[in-house]
Chain A
Amino acid sequence: AQTVTQSQPEMSVQEAETVTLSCTYDTSESDYYLFWYKQPPSRQMILVIRQEAYKQQNATENRFSVNFQKAAKSFSLKISDSQLGDAAMYFCAYRDSNYQLIWGAGTKLIIKP
């Protein structure tokens, strides 16, 4: 069975600096999707970025980018120029062949002003 591991329960970063959140997963499938979701305090979960496993190029969305290492089964999220509004729980998720999401435990990101 697939598993997703986020080894950092909490991370903090100074405003305007860069932070990287880690995610590893375990699977025997070759084609799949990976996602990073953000859950701000008392607000809805929203999609930050997604990566298709068959694409070599790392996905980017403005200040958010991923470092996808398929052989190492690693999918880290880099946030550049951190802003106060980036403070949230961040969840890494793997979409299996049944189209269901398997979630990591989450990383709480704190932004220091």
Chain B
Amino acid sequence: DVKVTQSSRYLVKRTGEKVFLECVQDMDHENMFWYRQDPGLGLRLIYFSYDVKMKEKGDIPEGYSVSREKKERFSLILESASTNQTSMYLCASSLYPTATTPHNEQFFGPGTRLTVL
């Protein structure tokens, strides 16, 4: 089974702090994603990565950055946390679409509920 793990389930930080959210997957997936989930808004893509050291902005990248130094690990960084970044953060991974797996299902971690005070 694919396993996607996130470093913390719950995190409380102060405004202005630098915050690191870590995500690790164990199935050699090329693609990794960071979403934030807010009630009534569904999931919104922050950043994604198709390969090591590669990153692409999603729909809401402002205030965030990412790092992918190894294939299995994708980190989300809040350079200076603000109260409007209080949210649930979900990491996901998937294979790159191929002829045998064209649908590239995304597998999710348990999420990190971040509160910024």
Question: Could you list which residues of chain A lie within 8 angstroms of chain B, going by C-beta atoms?
Answer: 4, 6, 9, 33, 35, 43-47, 50, 52, 91, 95, 99-101, 103-106
Contact = CB atoms under 8 A, between A and B. Distances in A.
Main secondary structure of the interface of B (DSSP, over half): loop
Interface in B28-65: 31, 40-45, 48, 58
8 contacts: A33-B103, A46-B108, A52-B102, A52-B103, A91-B43, A99-B104, A100-B58, A101-B43
A105 B38 CA distance: 9
B116 to A, nearest CB: 21
A106 B97 CA distance: 26
B83 interface: no
B90 A95 contact: no
Contact of A103 (B4, B43, B96, B110): B43
Contacts, number: 46
Range for the number of chain B residues in contact with chain A? 20 to 34
B103 A50 contact: yes
A69 B2 CA distance: 32
Contacts of A4: 42
Contacts of B92: 45
B105 interface: yes
A50 B112 CA distance: 26
Interface string B88-99: 001010101100
A33 B94 CA distance: 15
Contacts of B97: 99
A44 B103 contact: no
Contacts of A52: 102-103
Contacts of B111: 44
Given A44-B111, A50-B103, A99 B43 contact: no
Nearest to A31: B102
Nearest to A91: B42
